[in-house]
Amino acid sequence: MLTLASLPAVLLLSWAMTGRLRHYALRRNLLDVPNQRSSHSVPTPRGGGMAIVVSFVLALLLSLAFGWIAWQSAVGLLGAGVAVALIGFLDDHGHVPARWRLLVHVASASWGLYWLGGAPSLVLGGTSIELGWLGALLGVFYLVWLLNLYNFMDGIDGIAGVEAVTTCLSIVLICLLLNDWSAALLPAMLGLAAAGFLIWNFPPAKIFMGDAGSGFVGLMLGLLSFHMAWSESQLLFAWLVLLGVFLVDASITLLRRLVRGEKVYQAHRSHAYQHASRMHGRHLPVTLAVMAINWCWLTPLAIWVALGGNAMIILPLAYVPLVCLALKYRAGLAE
Classify residue 272: in a domain, yes or no: no
142-167: average pLDDT: 96
CA distance 36 to 242: 32
Classify residue 249: in a domain, yes or no: no
* Residue length of the chain: 335
Residue 251 CA, distance from chain mean position: 14
Which of the four pLDDT bands, split at 50, 70 and 90, describes residue 126?
Answer: low
Q: How many domains are contained in the chain?
A: 1
**Interval 4-38: pLDDT, tens:** 667 899 999 999 999 999 999 999 888 887 665 65
Residues β-bridged to residue 31: 45
Question: Which residue has better confidence, 128 or 28?
Answer: 28
Question: Is the whole model's pTM more than 0.75, yes or no?
Answer: yes
Classify residue 279: in a domain, yes or no: no
Which of the four pLDDT bands, split at 50, 70 and 90, describes residue 125?
Answer: low
Classify residue 10: in a domain, yes or no: yes
Classify residue 248: in a domain, yes or no: no
Q: Contact 150/217 with Cβ under 8 angstroms?
A: yes
Classify residue 242: in a domain, yes or no: no
**Interval 237-246: pLDDT, tens:** 999 999 999 9
**pLDDT surpasses 90 at 249:** yes
CA distance 113 to 72: 11
CA distance 227 to 186: 10
What is the residue range of 170's domain? 2-231
Residues 6+ apart with CB under 8 A from 13: 51, 54, 55, 58, 193, 196
Residues β-bridged to residue 127: 124
Classify residue 250: in a domain, yes or no: no
Residue 97 CA, distance from chain mean position: 22
Percent of the chain with pLDDT over 70: 95
CA distance 203 to 132: 44
Question: Which residue has better confidence, 2 or 226?
Answer: 226
Q: What is the pLDDT of residue 103?
A: 96
Q: What angle do CA 214, 199, 265 make, to 5 degrees?
A: 20
SS3 label, residue 32: strand
**pLDDT surpasses 60 at 2:** no
**Interval 88-118: pLDDT, tens:** 999 888 788 889 999 999 999 999 999 998 8
Residue/partner pairs of 93-102 with CB below 8 Å, 24 or more apart: 93/30, 93/47, 98/265, 102/144
